[in-house]
Amino acid sequence: MRPDRCGHGRSAQVSEGHDMDHYADDLAALTAHLDLRDAVHVGHSTGGGEVVHYLARHGESRVAKAAIISAVPPQMVRSENNPGGLPQSVFDDLQAQLAANRSEFYLSLAAGPFYGFNRPGAQPSDAMIRNWWRQGMMGGAKAHYDGIVAFSQTDFTEDLKKITVPTLVMHGDDDQIVPYADSAPLSAKLLANGILKTYPGFPHGMPTTEASTINADLLDFVRS
What would the pLDDT profile of 66-78 be if each residue is shown by its tens digit? Answer: 999 999 999 999 9
Q: What are phi and psi of 12, to 5 degrees?
A: -60, 135
Q: What are phi and psi of 198, to 5 degrees?
A: -105, 140
Structural domain harbouring 98: 20-223
- If we measure between CA atoms, which residue out of 29, 28, 27, 69 comes closest to residue 46? 69
What number of residues does the chain have?
224
**Domain assignment present for 178:** yes
d(CA 151, CA 70): 12
11 annotated active-site: no
Annotated catalytic residue, options 8, 22, 45, 183: 45
Residue 112 DSSP one-character state:
I
What would the pLDDT profile of 153-175 be if each residue is shown by its tens digit? Answer: 999 999 999 999 999 999 999 99
CATH label of the domain that carries residue 139: 3.40.50.1820
**Domain assignment present for 5:** no
d(CA 143, CA 112): 23
* Secondary structure (3-state) at 91: helix
Annotated catalytic residue, options 175, 182, 183, 187: 175
State the number of CA atoms in the 13 A half-sphere of 203 facing the CB: 19
**Domain assignment present for 14:** no
Number of folded domains that form the chain? 1
Cα 82 to Cα 54, 88, 156: the distances in Å are 22, 12, 11
**Domain assignment present for 41:** yes
Residue 222: CB atoms within 10 A of its CB come to 13
Residue 3: CB atoms within 10 A of its CB come to 17
pLDDT-wise least confident of 18-22, 95-99, 192-196:
18-22
**Domain assignment present for 8:** no
Q: Mean pLDDT over all residues of the chain?
A: 93
Q: What is the pTM of this model?
A: 0.92
18 annotated active-site: no
Contact assessment for residue 170 and residue 67, using Cβ atoms and an 8 Å cutoff:
yes
**Domain assignment present for 56:** yes
